Each structure stands twice: as C-alpha cells, then as structure tokens.
Amino acid sequence: MTMRDIDPTTLEDGGPREACGVFGITNHADAAALSYFGLYALQHRGQESAGIAVCDNGEIRMHKNLGLVSDVFGTDILKKLSGNTAIGQVRYSTTGKTSLINAQPFVVSHRGHTYALAHNGNIVNAHVLRRELESSGSIFQTTNDTEIFLHLFVKNLDKGFDTALVNTVETLKGAFSFLLLTSDCGLVGIKDPNGFRPLCLGRKNGSYVLASETCALDLVEAQFVRELDPGEIVIISKNGSIRSIQVPTPKRRSFCIFEFIYFARPDSMIHDLSVYEMRKAMGRQLAQESHVDADLVMPFPDSGNYAALGYSEQSGVPFEMAMIRNHYVGRTFIQPTQSMRDFGVRVKLNPVRSLLRGKEIVIVEDSIIRGTTTKTRIKALREMGVKRIHMRVSCPPHRFPCHYGIDFSSKGELIASGKSVAELTSYLGLDSMHYLSIEGLLASTGVKNAEDLFCKSCFDGCYPVSFDKDLSKDCLEKI
Amino acid sequence: MTMRDIDPTTLEDGGPREACGVFGITNHADAAALSYFGLYALQHRGQESAGIAVCDNGEIRMHKNLGLVSDVFGTDILKKLSGNTAIGQVRYSTTGKTSLINAQPFVVSHRGHTYALAHNGNIVNAHVLRRELESSGSIFQTTNDTEIFLHLFVKNLDKGFDTALVNTVETLKGAFSFLLLTSDCGLVGIKDPNGFRPLCLGRKNGSYVLASETCALDLVEAQFVRELDPGEIVIISKNGSIRSIQVPTPKRRSFCIFEFIYFARPDSMIHDLSVYEMRKAMGRQLAQESHVDADLVMPFPDSGNYAALGYSEQSGVPFEMAMIRNHYVGRTFIQPTQSMRDFGVRVKLNPVRSLLRGKEIVIVEDSIIRGTTTKTRIKALREMGVKRIHMRVSCPPHRFPCHYGIDFSSKGELIASGKSVAELTSYLGLDSMHYLSIEGLLASTGVKNAEDLFCKSCFDGCYPVSFDKDLSKDCLEKI
Amino acid sequence: MTMRDIDPTTLEDGGPREACGVFGITNHADAAALSYFGLYALQHRGQESAGIAVCDNGEIRMHKNLGLVSDVFGTDILKKLSGNTAIGQVRYSTTGKTSLINAQPFVVSHRGHTYALAHNGNIVNAHVLRRELESSGSIFQTTNDTEIFLHLFVKNLDKGFDTALVNTVETLKGAFSFLLLTSDCGLVGIKDPNGFRPLCLGRKNGSYVLASETCALDLVEAQFVRELDPGEIVIISKNGSIRSIQVPTPKRRSFCIFEFIYFARPDSMIHDLSVYEMRKAMGRQLAQESHVDADLVMPFPDSGNYAALGYSEQSGVPFEMAMIRNHYVGRTFIQPTQSMRDFGVRVKLNPVRSLLRGKEIVIVEDSIIRGTTTKTRIKALREMGVKRIHMRVSCPPHRFPCHYGIDFSSKGELIASGKSVAELTSYLGLDSMHYLSIEGLLASTGVKNAEDLFCKSCFDGCYPVSFDKDLSKDCLEKI
Amino acid sequence: MTMRDIDPTTLEDGGPREACGVFGITNHADAAALSYFGLYALQHRGQESAGIAVCDNGEIRMHKNLGLVSDVFGTDILKKLSGNTAIGQVRYSTTGKTSLINAQPFVVSHRGHTYALAHNGNIVNAHVLRRELESSGSIFQTTNDTEIFLHLFVKNLDKGFDTALVNTVETLKGAFSFLLLTSDCGLVGIKDPNGFRPLCLGRKNGSYVLASETCALDLVEAQFVRELDPGEIVIISKNGSIRSIQVPTPKRRSFCIFEFIYFARPDSMIHDLSVYEMRKAMGRQLAQESHVDADLVMPFPDSGNYAALGYSEQSGVPFEMAMIRNHYVGRTFIQPTQSMRDFGVRVKLNPVRSLLRGKEIVIVEDSIIRGTTTKTRIKALREMGVKRIHMRVSCPPHRFPCHYGIDFSSKGELIASGKSVAELTSYLGLDSMHYLSIEGLLASTGVKNAEDLFCKSCFDGCYPVSFDKDLSKDCLEKI
C-alpha cells in the first residue's frame, strides 16, 4: 500500500479557479476585521493566499500568507493590524507561480510613501511592459503582473497623483480591478476600460467599501451603492471625500459572462443582475433546448444547483439532491491505493442509492472544464444502478483559453477543445449530452444587446483585448 | 474592539450532536486505511475525537486524538497502524467530558490479552455499576461509560469468552452499539437488546465490515449484508468465521427515530429504510398537515433540504435554495464585536436578496433543539425584506431529554420544553409555525406498527429503558 | 542523496537517560506555575514527556503530553491549571514504552475521590504484582509500573488512608520516589526503603515543596529542609500540617551513586553532598590513579566538565575547553548522506583546531555507556591533528544493567560489559584509557562507610533488591 | 497571576547580536544540504531568519523564513532545493525591521536573469543612495540595505558584469561581505575595502566554499584556503574557474575587533588568528592589569569562558564553572509573576551554592553592552552567599554605537556610555570592576601594528568610514 497526503482538490473536477477577490474599506475603526469578513465572503474567488494591509497614521502594516482566510488570520494578527483604512485580497494564481512572494497585497515604498496594491485580473501586455521597465534599470521581485502597476505608477508620479493613475491605467491592457492603498490612508479603486471583472462600491455609515462582489457587502452590512463603470478610477480620501476619474473606454463592454455561470456567488448581484436568477434562467433555457423525460433531475453539488432547479421548473422533471456532500472533508486526506482509487470521489460526494437504482436521470452541470471528476462521478452513479444518464451543461463548450484572469490559460486543459460533444458523451460514459447554445446563454441574461456587453471569448475565441501583437481582435475561429 | 477565536459551531443552531460512529473491518491488509475512510463517512456522527486501533500479530496498536478524522490521521500515522483487523470511532461526548482521556477506542490489557473497544450509545445504569465495581477495588481512568464494559467483561472472563460477553450485555442497560477488537484479531459487534443505535454488517470480498451506517459501507465499496438484530452479538474470528449470539430482547423495539429525522446521513439505509426518502415523506406529510400558499419553500441548508423537497412536491410551492452556504468556513474565526454580532451567521449562510425581497416564504427545518441560530437566521431573512415567514418543522417538538446517546440530556436545553408553539412563533419572529404531529411522523416511516418499533421518547417522554430507580418505564407525561 | 529528519540524540553518545523527575507543592496560589518552573529545573531527568496535575476545590485537573516542559506547557494551559496544590513529572521511559498513555501524572478516580500520581524509579516486582491484580479482575491501561501503586492503594483503602499507603509501600519492591496528590488537596511524598532515588523537602513561606533535586528548590526560591529518609512517607494536608510515617528499612542504604556521577545537576545537593564537588573529587582521584603528563586536559562538554577540572587541579595539566558546543542545535536536523556522516557530531561539538594540532591530550568523560559518539568524537579530534589521546573516565566500567530506574536495562547495551579496557582503548582509537576504580569512587564521596550507603550495582552487579525470584541479593559476579 | 509567553532572550544580558552569517558553495550535488550545515555552524551570527537559494539549470529556487536554521529547513524543503550552486544566510536585523520581507537571500529578476544576494554588514550611505534611486523611479520592497546593491548593480550592467560589480562596490560605503548567486550558477564573494566583516574561501574537492567563519568550513569538511582581502571580489564560474578583482582600498584596515572578543565562534580562525587563543590572551592581559587574590575565578557561561581560563592561567586563581547552564531552556517560557521575577535568570543559569557560599570571587565577562542580566546574575550570586564579587571585563567599555553591522546602534543602549566605571560598579552591585584597556586589548591580539588593522570604534568613537555627511572620520571624542 502506498499512501501520501494529497490535496483533495486534485480529485476535484478541475473546475476553473478564479484569479482573485479584493475588498477595501475606509474610515472604520475595525478596518482589518471588516476586511477579514469581506475576504471570507470572497474566499470562493481564490484559495491560495490571503492578505490584508492597513493604513495607520501614515504607516502601512500588512500580513499575508498562503492558505485560506481562516488559516492566515487569527485574533492576534488582526489586533496588530490596527488602522482605519484597509485593503485585502484572496488569490488564486493565474500569472505567476504559487508562492508566498506572489501573495498580495503587494507593498512597496518610494520617496517616503508606501503603497499597497491588490489585484483581480490579468494584464495581457505584462511581458512587453516588464521588458521595457527592466531596460531602464527596474528589478522585479515577483512573477506577477501586479508589480508592473507600481513601477509604472511611481515613474509617472512627477506628473501628479491623478495623472499617474490615469497614465498607468491607459498603459495597461487586459482585465484588472485594482485596489490601491496609500500611506496617507487614501483608497483607490480601479476598473479596466472593458470592465471584465466586477468591482462594486458600497457604503457603511461613514465608510466606503469596495469589493469584488455584493455578497461581501451583505456580510459586513454595507449598503450597495453601484458597480464601478468600466475605466473608472474612484479615489476616496482619508477624510471621506470621494471623486471619480473616467478613462476612455471602448464602445463594447466585456463583462465576463463566466462570472454569472460559475464564479460569482449566487447571492451576489453583478451589473444589477442576480447571479442566482440568471443561473436558474440558464437551466430553464437548457430544458427548452434539450428536454428529456427523465425520472429526476439532479445537480452535482453545489455549483449546478441553480441551473438544475431552473431545468426542473421548466421541464417538470422532479428535482432531487441525489448526491450527498460530506461537509467534513479536510484540506488533505490520505491517498488511497489503486484498489481504492475511487474512494476519493465518494469521500466528498456519495450518491443516494435508494433514489437512483434503475432510474433515468438528468444531471445538470454549470460547466465542464477539464472533465476529470465528471467522469468519475458518472461512474459512481452507474455503480449505484442508474439506468440512463443525460448530462445538460448550462453553458456552451469551453473551447478557448481565458486571458483575462481565469486559470484555464491553454487549450490543452479544456476537454471540449479537443473533443466533439459526441466524443465527450462517449468519453464520460453518458447516454446523452447537451451544452447550452451561445444564443441561449445570451438570452438567459435577460439583457438587451447582450452581445455587446459580455466577454464570451472562452466559448467563441473572440478576444476583446489583444494579448499578443500577432493576434487581431477578431475571433480566433469563426464558429 | 474585542476579538477572540471562537468555534463557529457556537454560532450554529445548537442542533443535536450525535454521540458516536463506529467502524470495524477484519482480514484486510489495509485495515487502518479502510477504517480511516469509514470514519470519514461517519464524521457527521461525532467531531470531537477520532481513533483507530489495529490488531497485528497479537499486538494492538492505537492512535487517537481530539479533532476531525482528517486532523487526527496523516499518512505517517496510518502507515504505523499496520494490521489486518481494525476498529475506529468518531465521538461527540455525551457521558464524560470532552478530553483526550475519553477519546476512543479504549484499550486495556488483562492477563496477556489486549482489548480495544469503541462505543456508540449511552449506558443508563453506568453510575450504579461503577459504584459496585469501585467497591470491589476497581479504579477508573475515564469518565465515560465505555470503561465499565471492560471491567465487567474481564471479571466474567473465567466463565469463557462468549459467556463474558453475554453477561456483560445483560448487565448493561441503555443504548449501545459496541465494537470490540481482541489481540487475537477477533472482532465483536454488539447491539443492545432494544436496538437503539444502528449497526450494520457488510462484506468486502474476504473481509467483514461493521459500521454505524451504510454510507460507510458505500465509501469503502463493501456490500451491505444486514442490520444487526437488537441484542445480537456477532463474533468474527481472525480466520474469517462468523457466528452470532442472541441475547433476550424486549418485545418492543426502540429504534431511535431521530436517526431518521436528523442524525443519519441521507444516503444511508437504516433498518432497510432510506433515510433520504423518509425525510421527503416527512416533508410531504408536513405539507398535508399544514399547507401555506407561499411564494417559495426553502430549507436552511443542509439538514432541512429533503423535507423541504417533500414539502414542495406535495404542496406545489416552488423549492428554492435561498440561503447560500459558504464552503470555506474554517473551524474557528474571529469573533466580531457587538456591532458585527450578526456577521457570524451570515459568514456561513447568506440569504439571496433578489429572491426573497417582498416574498411570503415557507422555511422547512428538520428539528429545533435550542433554537439559538434559528432566531438569528430568521432575523437575517427579515433584513433581506421577506414579507411573511412560515416555519414548518419535520418532527414534533423536542420536549424531553434523550438518555440514549444524544446530547440534549436536560430539559433546560430544549426550547420547546419551556415554550408553547404560540410562544415559539412569537419568540422566533415567525408569522406561523407548525410541527409535524407524532402520528404524522410515524405515518411517514411507511412502517406497519411503527409505534412498536421506534423510540420517540424525546417527543413524548416515554422512555423504553429506565435510567433511574425512581423512574418507571411509563411516559413522563401523557401528552 | 537520501535525507530524513532524525533526532540528534541518536547521534549522541547514547549516554544514560534518567527515568524521571518529580516536583510537588502545597498551598500556593501559583502551584501550577511553580511546578512548571520546578520541572524546568528537573528537565535533565527526563525529556520524553511532561505533566502537571493540580487540585482545586476537590477536583483534579491535569495536562500532560510528549515533549519538553517548554513544549508541553504554554500560558493558556497553565492558566487553566488553577489550584493550590500540584504535582508534576518529567519522564524518560524505563519500564513502559514511550507513548502518551504512559506519560505522568497518572490520574484515576475511585469512590468519588481522584488521585494523581507521579513516579521516579522502577518497581522490580511489577510483573508479579500485575499478574495477581489481573487475576482478581483488574484491568490495566498503561504499561508502566505506576499504575500498580494505585491498584494496590485503593484495594487497601478500607483499612484507612495511612495503612493503605504503608501496605502499598511494603508490597512494592525496587526503587521509587512517589508523589501522590489527592482530591482533598493533600500531597504525599514517598521514598522507597532503600532510598535509591533522591527526594527532598523544601519550604517556601507557607508552602511545602517536594522535589527530586535541590536545584528545583533553588529555582522556585524554596528553602531546603531535608532529604526524605529511606522508607519515609510524608503526608502534607491541605491546611498545611505535615506528618511522617516510617516504613521499616534494611540496614544498608542504596543511594544511587550514578546520580552523583552523571544524572543529578551539579548545582544540586543530594544527601547533603555537593554533586559538583564530588565530581571534582572524582577527577582528582582519577589523576592520582592514572596521571599523564599531557599538554592539556579537556572534557567533552558538558558532562565531563567538573571531573576534568578536578583532574587538572590535581595533575597540573592545563584545563582547556577544546570542543565548542553549538547552542543552536535543534531537536531534529537533516540526516547527512553517507559522505557527510560525521557532520552530525560536529554540528553539536567542534574541536578547536589551533589548540589541538600536534598535542598530547587527556579527555575526561564522566561515563561511557554505549560508546557510540565517544568513538566519533575521538575520530574528529584525530582529524584535527591531535597527536596522542588519553581517556580518563570518572567512574568504573558499566558492566551490569540497572534495574532501579536507569535506562540501560540490558548488558547488551553496555559497551564495557563486552569489551575489556584494552579492547575498548583500541576500539575507541585511544592511546590509553583508565576508569576510576570502585575504591577510588567510594573514596571520592568523602563519606565514611560509603560501601554501606550507595548502590553501585551497575559496576559490580551486587543488586541490593532482588528483581527476580531466581536472583539472590548477592552480586552477580564477583569482580 | 499574570502570565504571558515571552522570549527568554529578553531575559538575557542584552548582549550584542551579530548582523549575519553567509555561506556559499559551488559545483556540489548537495549544495543545499551543505549550505544547511554551513548555516548551522554560523547560527550564532543571526537567529532571526534563515534562507538558502540554489541555482539549478538557469533557475534560482529559494526558501527562507523567520526562525532558526533547524526551524526553517526540513528534509522536504531541502529536497526541493536541488542545484549545484547555493548561497545561504542567517540574519539578525541591524538595518531593517525584523520581518519575513527582510529575510535573505534576496532574489530579483532582470532581463531574463535572476540574482540572489546574501549580505553581512551595514551600508552607511544607504539612505543617500536610496533617495537617489527613488528619484529615478526605483521602488523598494524591503527596508534593508541589501536591496540597494541590486538596484545599483543592474543599472550598471550595461557596462559589463565585472564593471557593474566594481562600480557597485565603489559606490557603497560601510561594512559588507556579500555573496551573489547568478542564474548561470556563478558565485561571487565580495568584501568591502575596509575589511570589516570576515569572509573566507575554502575548498572541498572540486567545490569552492565562501563562509563568514572557518567553523563552517570545518563542519562541511572543506579546507581553508584564505581570508578574502579587503576590497576583493572573487568570481567563481559554473565550470569551476575562479578569478579575483581588487578594488582600491584605504591604507588602514578595519577588521572588527569585536568579532574576536565576542561574535565569532572560538573554534574559528579569522585573519589567521585563533579566536579561542586570542580570548585567552585577553584574559591573561586582564589578570596582569588588575589582579585580585580571590578564591576562584568564574565566567558567566558560555561567552566569558575563554577569557576566564586565561585569567586563571595568568593569576593562579582557580577556575570554576560555578553557574550551571540548563540546556533544555526552550525558545519561550512562561513569564513569572512579580514575585517570581528572578526565576527567569535562574531557569537558564543556576549558581552552585556549595561552591560559592562565603567566597571572594572574580567573574570574567567578555563584554557588557546593556548590562540588564549582568545585574540580575550578580544578585543571584549574592543570594547564594558570595562574600565579595570582582568583575573583570575582557574588553574596554562600550561607549559608542556601531555603524558597521552590530546591533547596538545608539549610545542610549550602551550602559558604559552613560555611567563611569565607578558608577557601574555600584549599579551592578560589585565590590570592584575593571575593563581591559584599549592598549591591553591591542596587545592581546599579538599582531604588530594592531592599531592600523582593527576597527575599535565602539570603544573610542574613531569611525573609519563616515556614515553621515556631518561626521568627519576623526574620532567622535578624544578619550
């Protein structure tokens, strides 16, 4: 018997893991504690590292480490993070290897000022900019693109604070939502001109809050004010004044539609749209596109829950929670021997045999990225005696990598880029399979001109911001 | 701001926590690893400590500690637990304070033999027996009743192994499912004559498995053979022979009905009944007893899920998962200040505002024990703008303590023992409230003569095994 | 390259490791904290586990774990150990395998009373007594002999507390210094009739202190009152009264002479004798017995320091500290590959090349038990260019195992039991070697009739208390 | 009782703590493991953080953390640090606050190359250089002066590698011994033109070793080749070629004489001088300058050991080790209450009462910096009944801060800067006190023209390299 401690996420479905979540708050005596709770609410956006920086009387103090928010912060540490303005970040690496050195916030000093920066997104011209900066003598200590923002920013500071910000934003290309904390306790929120990643503004009495999602506002009892506009720079001063600078933007927006499909928490509102209700709408649309007269419809918990509910609602097929989640699965567990290889999946999710034996079922998934655990889970269902299995996926096939902050950055990782739906059906051991159409997906949003609002490049290869000189903004393939 | 690390379970609903789960396996080269997985599947039955003892060539090795299975065992430790027969236990203290000394398995030696014992249940005549044993010079090292079994057993060993077991079982009163591992690698499973706690037998090729619930058999890919009978002692020898001794039993069984309502995992079968389906049946019955024409029906995740599904199915009120669970909540988090007191609840469960604002809703709970978080959660829903809230509980009010292994052992802990339903409705801030009737509960089981099969003493005070001389076996109160 | 974390003590000289140290205090508000410091001072007597039990209002609370005192106790734990009377123990296993279950104090309850026991020594008739107790139905949870005391004690309690103590002491054979804490906050100190192990009484204002060595009294600022007599039972009540019971004793005492040679701290007084000065006297005697006209005399730090000083004083050979100890050696370090095998020794002790090159030196060791690191250290000196190496050992050769609480319990472990001095000289790579004679050792004590006072069985095999029916009290071999 | 975990070093004598130790090795398959052992031997030079960087096939991997070498590195981590060239550092902060961000080696990337740097020393014009660099757009991530080297170096790289090194070394002022590892597996060793800090070259078969002290060469079995010259840059290429560049140097050297007095390990050779023997010579000189006809001479272990031996040798006063060190003192222990305040000192060092009572003694200290524990230790001796106490210090009074890498950087920390010897004698509770004269100190070195070789600015305020524009190179005060 060979055993080693493994990370159970490697047994997971290889689902996409978001880049980051950011949270900031001004003018609150418990700034660090509120950031801690805010990051807790955003933990689904990044689980590799967590960090909080606070400004206290002209000094910036910071703590960050690899691990979950609950691992990284304890009472003792939070107590030391006194100060009235704070930013925090949770991170899953997209650019830059996983290591403490890439954890955020990122803090530097320059001419007596200190700056802390937290980033959600991906700068597509990072390599070009870095090469230029190094030519002029800059050295880099991390492999992440956040450091580039700071180099550019300080080089522009002679022109003034606002101009330095605008110039920097205009130089960077790609998806980015930044929070910048300055040692005079100012807080700056920045959203890229295309508006890829969410960033919203809230208010809690005399404090302003900036957060990746509204669920973080809910938790800290802040009132939602509005989503930042694409290309908007919001500057909140220590004394509570707030002002906004607008950088020129392209006509078309590029809100990441995958935030709605998978990433964002269902209790969040993004761009004034309910994630929960949009997911149900996708499920209803899916039932319209591809109905099966099955005994029951079920999700793989928990991400397919809402689309499955919508599917059931539309189709009349009864909704059942036929896989039971074990809530006590730790971060690591013992790797089984070859003969117990499938234990890994059932440790986390066990099918309800009495419900499934002899049945024809529909499984609703929100998305299939790498497909690894999907296959194993379907096998586990078969072993429980399920007769026929139909899979319905509430988004189109992922055929193109994302360059804007999601971690499937090469085609090779995407199972649907190499296999047709027919091949996948066979590969996964299904009786039938259907992906939501792109048209159906856009229709599910309920938004007029959805085509002009969302980035859906992972489905159609139409990249709104070029990430390479050789790449036109046109779609990679016409599909 | 005052902060301290607290256990988030103290922010939980104060729901009942089961005594224990036990798992044993014979004749398998990976006995410890399989026990590890078996305990993982039973983790919901006890989260305070975990332990595994293995028999290897006449020697018993053991490891146990406070914490979850995933905390207590790593690869290194499992490797040291070589041996072909093993027992394991997860525990939540009912008798005996929480401490390592009470963790199980409990190992003793006597005349060159070693015995390891794992227990699920509660011995109601423990105090009397202990007093007698101490009078004859026995000393005790723990405060739990498991130690009593071993004192009695070795004192009877002169009469032979089987007789010692039978005498011990006949002397003990109460609820108990024991696994005994002997240093000649025999495994004994014992269920008390009333059959309070589940204990089932499985088979995995040449190995026998004994486990509290079938979900543990599923995980380790063992085939379910049968539930042990009340008063049955199963003795499995090292060479694989199995035999059974039957101790006299009372006519009426006393299967704990609360295992079906709350404790057992929904993917388990107990007494050949599907826990999942019985919970749905309770929900349907609840809808029949007390329908409301609401906008939606929702559970508090995850325990009310199945009854809520049944309620929706019967009533036609749409089922929604309107509270979102944060899967990254660690074991401890920072206690908020007074002004953020309610964060604690929303860290774990956040209501979906867009779904709830202005609605009339039905919440289905499986049970209300102490009622602490129920109240806070309802408050959180109100703050999201819910118009009217009706609570439906899929069991009768808990008015009497349990003396058979569940941790509400005094009336004072039971909110329903001190408050009428009307008072509770007002106390919890509800618009209406209904508990499933005892008759409805029994009907939901789908079993004939259910009245003679189940212990429902926590609802009616009719205790099937007296736990005190002053207590008749009659019901405490006629209700 | 193969590396693994190893315990540096395995690279050590395999010197003897004492059984245990005990400390107790009555009637002090900081009983646990003082015990913590007392155990710190006694840490050299046992490094495997540490524990403290306190009595507080009729309740005994205890904490123990594997590790050093500084590992086992932190502020939080000490705070929880409130109470006015306490006992503590540090332990190195002699009887009983190393494991948490054998850590002490050992706590049991019986008829409403709780007892905590800490032990230093070894009961030689433990197996016989255990067999008898098991025959009458007693079960055992540890493999150490301390548990036997408690079984015997409670079985005799019907005859009264004092008689139970006396009967128990008279039944036990061997070396034992016990501290017993009772749940009415009484403290009992017991020394075996032969007086093998030290146990002294001290006073700190209104509190009594019992400790293995006076260095623990020094640290907690208690005044030394007296050493307990062999066979003395001291009973200190909660209200501060103290009384003494004397059990019959043999005419000859058996103070362990190895306490003076190696175990005890040099700053301790035992039996009114200064350990430091006795060690110097042994060194002077050694120089008289076997002078060498060398360039320098040096110890292997730190145990040979004092004898080396005495040797230098007597012989006029200059004393040098020619091996430098690295004070930062952690508990574990990386095992070097074969090619760096000798790094392990030099990590801890490095010779001073400039002092040693081309010199003729005398090394003074206090004792050689297993001889493993002695050989390696001598090799390291040779590599530094030392010309001639003479070893002088300040005790006779260890040729017989100890049965009274020191951990060389078999002849096989003792290098001098299998090799003559000439063979050892060659094996260790020395130019000459001399062991202190038994007569010289006794003379060094400066005590009249030393022959009748000390146990020196590890040198001559004359065991003062028989540890087996087949063994007479006569010497094993006449030497 | 108020308790908190404290660091026992705060109970220490507040002795000076060295800045850093560095170690590098080329062309060895176990480069990281050898660096680990090398740092172990240099641990006395810095205990706050430890780090190792290795070059493997053009990539630099690094691990560093707060803590001792044994805490920071385990087998798993060392295994990951594969590569044939490595540098390591142990650090105690002098410039730059203690925090992980200041731990070394410091790694940056620039134009496809990676550089790792380890530093021992202090750059006195760091602030000026940093201001200039920031003006040209450089950002800084640490507060230590090591980062400045790298900024300067890459800005000069256009002129070629060697010229970049020379220009950088000529721009920096102060004390510095650098090791630079490049991603083409080259290793560079640099010693500042004044030669403040030691740095020696060794050879181990086909590998070169660079280390702060020869004791590190001993441990890894490397042969000592030579000390680097002041202003020397040694460049060792991947293929094993070695070359040297000499930067212009001032006529007078400035070897830190305090390395000999206190910092360096006694088993090291520095500038071809034995530290051990020089310390004995200081002790002999001390006896000549100020003899007392006492009963015994003793050190406070362990730093005063060697001077005390020399004192005894010269004076004939017997040497005794009259304070016993407890080798089991952990990194933290419980802070005693006010009433046990002095326990802290005795936990670590306990006087031997039997040796000291009624005696007149000489204590030899190597130096007194802050004097905090000196006072407490003398009090402890008095309580043991010592009659008269004479202190002899084997260096002159520390009256001036060090600006070259030792951590007493302000006069306020130096007890001798505010108190005359007479005042100190009274403050410390001594009967007499004598410091070694500067002339005596220089004579003890046995070096001709010692005046022109050593930096002794902490005694006389004559700073060889100006650290401020306002400061001339002349002595601060004529003494």
Residue B251: give its domain's CATH number. 3.60.20.10
- Residues on chain C touching D266 (C-beta within 8 angstroms): 324, 352
- A4 reaches D (C-beta below 8 A): no
Q: Which residues pair with A429 in a beta bridge?
A: none
The percentage of chain A sitting over the pLDDT mark of 70, rounded to a whole number, equals 89
Residues C439 and C453 in one domain: yes
Q: How many angstroms separate the CA of residue A305 from the nearest CA in chain B?
A: 8
Beta-carbon count within 10 A of C420 CB: 10
Residue type for position B189: G
In eight-state DSSP terms, residue B263 is: I
| Torsional sign, CA A207, A213, A214, A217 | negative
Query: So what's the pLDDT on residue A370?
Result: 86
Residue type for position A231: G
Least confident among A55-64, A283-292, A456-465, D325-334:
D325-334
Query: So what's the pLDDT on residue B412?
Result: 81
C458-462 CB contacts, 8 Å cutoff, 24+ apart: C458/C258, C458/C398, C458/C399, C458/C400, C458/C401, C458/C402, C458/C406, C458/C408, C459/C395, C459/C396, C459/C397, C459/C398, C459/C399, C459/C400, C460/C396, C460/C400, C461/C399, C461/C400
Pairing of strands D360-365, D388-393: parallel
Q: Residue B89: CB partners within 8 Å, gap ≥ 6?
A: B20, B21, B22, B23, B39, B46, B50, B51, B64, B104, B105, B118, B119, B120, B179
Residues D105 and D219 in one domain: yes
Residue with tokens 């002349």: D474
The pLDDT mean for chain A works out to: 89
Pairing of strands B255-256, B454-455: parallel
Q: How many angstroms separate the CA of residue D440 from the nearest CA in chain C?
A: 22
Do chain C and chain A touch with ≥3 beta carbon pairs under 8 Å?
no
- The length of chain C, given as a count of residues: 479
Q: Which residues pair with B115 in a beta bridge?
A: B108, B182
pLDDT band at B327 (very low <50, low <70, confident <90, very high): confident
Question: In whole angstroms, what separates CA D365 from the centre of its chain?
Answer: 17
The DSSP line for B66-95 is ES-HHHH--HHHHHH---SEEEEEEE--SS
> Which B residues 101-130 touch C at CB under 8 Å?
101, 107-111
- What does the pLDDT look like over A429-442, one tens digit per residue? 999 999 999 999 99
What mean pLDDT comes out for the span C201-222? 96
Query: So what's the pLDDT on residue A476?
Result: 47
Contact: A141, D110; criterion CB under 8 Å: no
Whether the predicted pLDDT of A126 surpasses 70: yes
Q: How many angstroms separate the CA of residue B62 from the nearest CA in chain A?
A: 18
The DSSP line for B8-34 is GGGGS-----B-EEEEEE-S-TTHHHH
Residue with tokens 């050694």: C286
Residue type for position C126: A
Residues C264 and C327 in one domain: no
Pairing of strands C232-236, C187-191: antiparallel
Query: So what's the pLDDT on residue A95?
Result: 52
Query: So what's the pLDDT on residue C145?
Result: 80
Residue type for position B426: S
**Domain total in chain D:** 2
Contact: B111, C150; criterion CB under 8 Å: no
Residue type for position B250: P
- B97 reaches C (C-beta below 8 A): no
| Torsional sign, CA C110, C111, C114, C119 | negative
SS3 D193: coil
Least confident among B473-477, C334-338, D201-205, D211-215:
B473-477
CB B1 within 8 A of CB A29: yes
Residues A243 and A275 in one domain: no
Residues D250 and D296 in one domain: no
The answer to whether residue D468 sits within a structural domain is: no
Pairing of strands B223-227, B273-274: unpaired
CA distance A71 to B122: 36
Q: Which residues of D53-83 are buried (b: 16+ CB within 10 A; e: fewer)?
A: bbbbeeebbbbbebbbbbbbbbbeebeebbb
Q: Residue B341: CB partners within 8 Å, gap ≥ 6?
A: none
Whether the predicted pLDDT of D398 surpasses 50: yes
CA distance A267 to A275: 7
Residue D454, classified by CB atoms within 10 Å of its CB into exposed (0-12), middle (13-18) or buried (19+), is buried
CA distance A322 to B116: 37
Chosen for mutation from D65, D111, D139, D157 (greatest number of chain A CBs closer than 10 Å) is D139
CATH number at A275 reads: 3.40.50.2020
Q: Closest chain A residue to B346 measured between Cα atoms?
A: A219
When CB atoms are compared, the residue of D111, D137, D143 closest to A134 is D111
The answer to whether residue A347 sits within a structural domain is: yes
Q: Residue B478: CB partners within 8 Å, gap ≥ 6?
A: none
The answer to whether residue A471 sits within a structural domain is: no
Q: Which residues of B163-197 are buried (b: 16+ CB within 10 A; e: fewer)?
A: ebbbbbbebbbbbbbbbbbbbebbbbbbbbbbbbb
Q: Which of C405, C428, C466 is nearest to C121 (CA)?
A: C405
CB C165 within 8 A of CB C153: yes
Query: So what's the pLDDT on residue C75?
Result: 85
SS (H, E, C) A216-265: HHHHCCCEEEEECCCCEEEEECCCCCEEEEECCCCCCCCEECHHHHHHCC
- D213 reaches C (C-beta below 8 A): no
The answer to whether residue A71 sits within a structural domain is: yes
Residues B151 and B33 in one domain: yes
Query: So what's the pLDDT on residue C15?
Result: 55
Residues A208 and A355 in one domain: no
Q: How many angstroms separate the CA of residue C29 from the nearest CA in chain B?
A: 25
Residues B323 and B376 in one domain: yes
The answer to whether residue A472 sits within a structural domain is: no
- Residues on chain A touching B219 (C-beta within 8 angstroms): 343, 346-347, 350
| Torsional sign, CA D153, D156, D157, D159 | negative
pLDDT band at D74 (very low <50, low <70, confident <90, very high): confident
pLDDT band at C372 (very low <50, low <70, confident <90, very high): confident
Q: Which of D216, D249, D267 is a domain's end point?
A: D267
Whether the predicted pLDDT of B406 surpasses 80: yes
Please give the positions of D annotated as active site: 20
Q: Which of C269, C303, C320 is a domain's end point?
A: C269
CA distance D153 to A132: 18
CA distance D135 to D127: 12
What mean pLDDT comes out for the span D80-97? 84
Q: Which residues pair with C201 in a beta bridge?
A: C210, C226
What tokens were used for C406?
A: 């020191």
- To the nearest 10 degrees (0 to 180), the angle between helices D421-428 and D372-383 is 50
- What does the pLDDT look like over B101-134, one tens digit per residue? 788 999 999 999 999 999 999 999 999 999 999 9
Query: So what's the pLDDT on residue B157?
Result: 95
Please give the positions of C annotated as active site: 20
Residues C290 and C201 in one domain: no
- To the nearest 10 degrees (0 to 180), the angle between helices B275-289 and B438-445 is 140
Q: Domain containing C428: what range?
A: 274-460
CB C301 within 8 A of CB C349: yes
Residue D29, classified by CB atoms within 10 Å of its CB into exposed (0-12), middle (13-18) or buried (19+), is middle
Q: Is the pTM of the predicted complex or chain greater than 0.90?
A: no
- C135 reaches B (C-beta below 8 A): yes
| A20 is a catalytic site residue | yes
The answer to whether residue D465 sits within a structural domain is: no
CA distance C351 to B395: 78
SS3 C61: strand
Question: What count of Cα atoms within 13 Å lies in the side-chain half-sphere of residue C247?
Answer: 25
Please give the sequence-ordered ranges of beta strands (E in DSSP) within A18-129, or none if there are none.
Answer: 20-25, 49-56, 59-66, 85-91, 106-110, 113-123
SS (H, E, C) B156-174: CHHHCHHHHHHHHHHHCCE
The answer to whether residue C65 sits within a structural domain is: yes
Q: Give the DSSP H/E element, type plus range, for residue C421.
A: helix C421-428
Query: So what's the pLDDT on residue A240?
Result: 87
Whether the predicted pLDDT of C374 surpasses 70: yes
Beta-carbon count within 10 A of C251 CB: 5
Query: So what's the pLDDT on residue C373?
Result: 83
CB B285 within 8 A of CB B444: yes
Q: Residue D68: CB partners within 8 Å, gap ≥ 6?
A: C328, C330, D43, D47, D50
What mean pLDDT comes out for the span D438-444? 97
Residues C46 and C176 in one domain: yes
The answer to whether residue B467 sits within a structural domain is: no
Residues C14 and C61 in one domain: yes
Q: Which residues of B31-48 are buried (b: 16+ CB within 10 A; e: fewer)?
A: bbbbbbbbbbbbbbbbbb
Residues A197 and A339 in one domain: no
Question: What does the longest C-alpha to C-alpha distance in chain C come to?
Answer: 73
CA distance C223 to C264: 19
